[in-house]
Amino acid sequence: MELIVTMPQAAKAVVEGTTLVWVTQAGEHVSAGDILVEIWTDVFDAEIPSPTAGVLNEILVPIGTTVASRPSRPSRQWRRVEGRDR
């Protein structure tokens, strides 16, 4: 099963975030809760965890790219995580 993870909206005032560091690289195995990427917003910095165990197939948003977090605005996809059921 493939899962596409998008930029979460952590607070109402946060409308976008910028990738700072990809902690996990494409091709690496992850467990649920492992940190995938660190982001910067105008309100706070955050670490985005993997929602499931699997393999990070592809990073779709390069470091330094800003993406929307509000569901009402178009949002670029962050990366693809191929999960496996346990």
**For residue range 73-84, what is the model confidence (pLDDT) as tens digits?**
444 455 555 555
- Whether the Cβ atoms of residue 15 and residue 69 lie closer than 8 Å to each other: yes
Task: Check whether 66 has a pLDDT greater than 60.
Answer: yes
Question: Domains of the chain (ranges plus CATH)?
Answer: 2-83 (2.40.50.100)
Nearest in space to 65 (alpha carbons), one of 80, 74, 76, 56: 76
Please tell me the predicted confidence (pLDDT) of residue 85: 44
Q: Which two tokens stand for residue 60?
A: 């779709």
Question: What pLDDT does 30 receive?
Answer: 93
State pLDDT tens for residues 23-47. 999 999 999 999 999 999 888 888 9
For 8-23, what is the mean pLDDT? 81
Rounded to whole angstroms, the Cα distance separating 75 from 9 reads: 11
- Output the pLDDT for position 75: 46
